[in-house]
Structure 1
């Protein structure tokens, strides 16, 4: 039986996913699900680094004005430029260095 983090690593080695897509793939629902996955991704980033791999981050982007956020493991709530909440989630993928 694989742990949740092992499942996330396996998925991210295949292709890129957003936090919402990972929640669907892992059949996780309810409040706090995204926060749990984001915490897992922070730990996974260190785990894969030791294996000679890297967690790539495609940064979040505002769908209204196009503002691109920093590439970091978090889900922004509002655009600092236009204040829109219409944000494209960051996407994550694991690749060899």
Structure 2
């Protein structure tokens, strides 16, 4: 079984994120890498796309119990617990690469 790639892992992630909103799990399964590795690559991809006048738009994680949204997260990683209700059932963030000025969040 050949495991050759035509693109690097980061290039593949960029390609998928330019198409549509994707979760880390979607990317992990599509590319064949662990979820924790996707988070690692996203930090570098953010710098790469910034040079292209693009950005990673984030639809933030939210608590499945109380609905709290993690809008002010500075990292891409999923939080462990909700600060409001302490529940651990957190919906994953969704990511997409968009041109600067598009989208409604400021990635903050």
TM-score, structure 1 normalization: 0.90
Q: Which runs of 5+ in 2 are unaligned?
A: 1-5, 101-108
2:26 alignment counterpart? 21
Alignment RMSD (CA, Å): 1.1
Instruction: Give, in whole Å, the separation in 2 of the partners of 1:71 and 1:91.
Output: 13
1:50 is matched with which residue? 51
Partner residue of 1:64? 65
1:80 aligns with 2:57: no
Asked if 2 retains the 8 angstrom alpha-carbon contact of 1:54 and 1:94, the reply is yes
C-alpha distance in 2 between matches for 1:21 and 1:46: 21
| Secondary structure, aligned partner of 2:98 | strand
Query: Aligned-pair distance for 1:71?
Result: 4.4
Runs of 4+ in 1 over 2 A off after TM superposition: none
Where does the alignment leave 5 or more consecutive residues of structure 1 unmatched? none
Q: How far apart, in 2, do the equivalents of 1:51 and 1:71 lie?
A: 23
Name the structure 1 match of 2:93: 90
Bigger Rg, structure 1 or 2: 2
Given the two structures, how large is their TM-score scaled by the length of structure 2?
Answer: 0.81
Aligned to 2:104: none
